[in-house]
Structure 1
Amino acid sequence: MKKAVLTQTLVAAAVLAISGTVMAGGDVDAGKAKAAVCGACHGATGHGNPAFPDPMNPGKTKAVPALAGQNAGYLAKQMEDFKSGARKDLLMTGQALGLSDADIANLAAYYATAAGADGGSVDAGLAAKGKSLYQGGDMARGVTACMACHGPDAAGNDSAGWPGLTGQLADYTTAQLNAFGSGARYNDPNRMMQDVASRLTDGDISAVTAYIQSMDGVVASAPVAATTAPEAPAPEAPVVAETVAAPAAAAKEAAPAPAAAPASAATGGAALFQAGCFACHGPMAPALNAPQIGVKDNWAPRLEKAGGRDGLVASAIAGVAGTAMAPKGGTALSDAEIGAVIDHIIAQAGL
């Protein structure tokens, strides 16, 4: 989570007004002292435990999550959910019941400032498949792009309560996607994660997990024929350690194909909106105080205030300070693609 920690810190400085050791209403020093108990399961450094004895399945183990570098708002919500019963876990419910509101805020503040762990070593081909799903989703199956909520660097969005994903144990990420997909975990707002995860195959989950791991880890080169000459990784390939050279075939597979220019607002704009903007401007919009697709009263005043279509495009590109609307909505869309999305939004609003 090292990259994620930097991003989270910058966002927190602008949104949460950090002062001294107090962050998001919590005291970092008090949280550090309280975290001594948490370290028994989550590790002294907060980097998790990949093989913790499972109390519900004697003789088996499970991955206990990394907490270091995670968004404070997300951590606080999870502890509150364990305490209320909205999220089920025998050990965590018992621990959370003994926490006061101040304890929760302090622990969340401490872990949000702790240094996260590096990712693991993953297969380049698998990571490339995961990158495609993470960044673009799969419109044919109704799978929204992961980065629509978690951001292109998987740092999450603290103001919206969405978690960072890098630095997390691979087995834990896999377990949670399976839990959301099966309905065993259901404390996600408006069933957003349940809806996405239920559409993922086991292969999809493995690929997305591998890509997330590759962001802070090492991408291992896939075997290639002896006649294949190695070359430097493509610029957009997942992060590769300086000492590891990816063969040309792996580099080409890892690099995303250039985004096609949208044919029209009705085709390209709609697909781009679904992949990168739906998470905030779809059914979840009212809860996030964001304008919702298809609601004219949400968009008409914004269009007028921006001075028309081009002004609204400029606003989307720049982002809206003090809200969850990051520049370009946290996506990697080009300016032209943002324009196509805005054309789609305007058309859907009947403007």
Structure 2
Amino acid sequence: MRQKVLLALAAATLAGGVSAQTQGDPAKGQVIVQQVCAACHGIDGNSVASTNPTLAGQHPAYIVSQLKAFKSSQRKNPIMLGMASALSDQDMQNVAAYFSQQKPKEQQAADKTLLKAGETLYRAGNPVTHVPACMACHGPTGAGMPDQFPRLGSQQSAYMLKQLNDFKANTDRKNPVMNDIASRLSDAEMKAVAEYISGLR
């Protein structure tokens, strides 16, 4: 029962956060990416640094919502605050349109011994600790749902692990549903599911 409530809250909370219609110009977005974003996220949105997210193929509305969160300091990151502060709402939509059209590169789990445990958690959750299956919101292949839940597949495992820890700490990442879910995950579970997610495509 608790899992159903969490999933319903997730739909309401995340949908409300990223449902804004985005109308961006990918060509204009590419210019901004070349000048501002490429150093950290790659010219095609595929980051080579494990600390930076891959943005290729990400849903545009989600990218816009996160840029706005950085600009308003709802998400606290000094580097992203500086980058996002210079962007207008239209710039954000243009960047999001460009990144969403790029193809994410396939990733491999760094620690393949954790894949089975990660798969179990991603696909079935943990009924003992009332953790719902990750794929209920993010899909069986990690593709997410446009305007509702972000794409997770092909993210580097180190980045995914940091995000889960941030949700658990309820500091930089503030989302009631994810904060609650992450608080129920052990360190071993977070590492395992992060490894599994990195190989999804």
Common topology (TM > 0.5) = yes
Find the aligned partners of 2:109 and 2:134 in 1 and give their Cα distance.
Answer: 21
Structure 1 counterpart of 2:27, from 26, 29, 47: 29
Aligned residue number for residue 173 of structure 2: 186
Is the CA contact (8 Å cut-off) linking 1:49 and 1:65 kept in structure 2?
Answer: no
Find the aligned partners of 2:112 and 2:52 in 1 and give their Cα distance.
Answer: 26
Structure 1 counterpart of 2:162, from 171, 175, 178: 175
Answering whether residue 46 of structure 2 is matched by residue 47 of structure 1, we say yes
User: Which runs of 5 or more structure 2 residues have no equivalent in the other structure?
Assistant: 1-18
Q: Under a length normalisation based on structure 2, what TM-score does the superposition of the two structures give?
A: 0.84
Aligned residue number for residue 139 of structure 2: 151
Answering whether residue 193 of structure 2 is matched by residue 205 of structure 1, we say no
Aligned residue number for residue 133 of structure 1: 121
Alignment partner of 1:31: what SS? helix
Structure 2 counterpart of 1:82, from 70, 74, 92: 70
Find the aligned partners of 1:64 and 1:126 in 2 and give their Cα distance.
Answer: 22
Q: Which has the higher strand share?
A: 1
Measured after TM superposition, the shift of residue 139 of structure 1 is: 1.6
Measured after TM superposition, the shift of residue 94 of structure 1 is: 1.0
Find the aligned partners of 1:42 and 1:213 in 2 and give their Cα distance.
Answer: 16
Structure 2 letter corresponding to 1:207: A
Alignment partner of 1:140: what SS? coil
Measured after TM superposition, the shift of residue 86 of structure 1 is: 0.9
Alignment partner of 1:82: what SS? helix
Alignment partner of 1:30: what SS? helix
Aligned residue number for residue 102 of structure 2: 114
Alignment partner of 1:111: what SS? helix
Q: What is the 5 A alignment of 1:262-273? A: none
Structure 1 letter corresponding to 2:197: I
Cα RMSD (Å): 1.8
Find the aligned partners of 1:86 and 1:124 in 2 and give their Cα distance.
Answer: 35
Answering whether residue 56 of structure 2 is matched by residue 68 of structure 1, we say yes
Find the aligned partners of 2:132 and 2:172 in 1 and give their Cα distance.
Answer: 19
Alignment partner of 1:50: what SS? coil
Structure 2 letter corresponding to 1:203: A
Aligned residue number for residue 180 of structure 2: 195
Find the aligned partners of 1:210 and 1:200 in 2 and give their Cα distance.
Answer: 14
Structure 1 letter corresponding to 2:33: A
User: Which runs of 5 or more structure 1 residues have no equivalent in the other structure?
Assistant: 1-15, 17-22, 52-62, 217-351
Q: What is the 5 A alignment of 1:317-328? A: none
User: Can you list the C-alpha shifts for 1:64-121, whole angstroms capped at 9, x where unaligned?
Assistant: 1111111111111000100111111001011111110100111111100011111114
Aligned residue number for residue 163 of structure 1: 150
User: Can you list the C-alpha shifts for 1:237-265, whole angstroms capped at 9, x where unaligned?
Assistant: xxxxxxxxxxxxxxxxxxxxxxxxxxxxx
Find the aligned partners of 1:73 and 1:31 in 2 and give their Cα distance.
Answer: 14
Runs of 4+ deviating beyond 3 Å:
121-125
Is the CA contact (8 Å cut-off) linking 1:50 and 1:171 kept in structure 2?
Answer: no
Aligned length: 181
User: Can you list the C-alpha shifts for 1:270-295, whole angstroms capped at 9, x where unaligned?
Assistant: xxxxxxxxxxxxxxxxxxxxxxxxxx
Is the CA contact (8 Å cut-off) linking 2:107 and 2:199 kept in structure 1?
Answer: yes
Is the CA contact (8 Å cut-off) linking 2:24 and 2:95 kept in structure 1?
Answer: yes
User: Can you list the C-alpha shifts for 1:128-186, whole angstroms capped at 9, x where unaligned?
Assistant: 111111111112101111111101111011121x1101121211101000010011223
Is the CA contact (8 Å cut-off) linking 2:154 and 2:199 kept in structure 1?
Answer: no
Identity of aligned residues (%): 38
Measured after TM superposition, the shift of residue 198 of structure 1 is: 1.1
Measured after TM superposition, the shift of residue 122 of structure 1 is: 4.5
Is the CA contact (8 Å cut-off) linking 1:122 and 1:214 kept in structure 2?
Answer: no
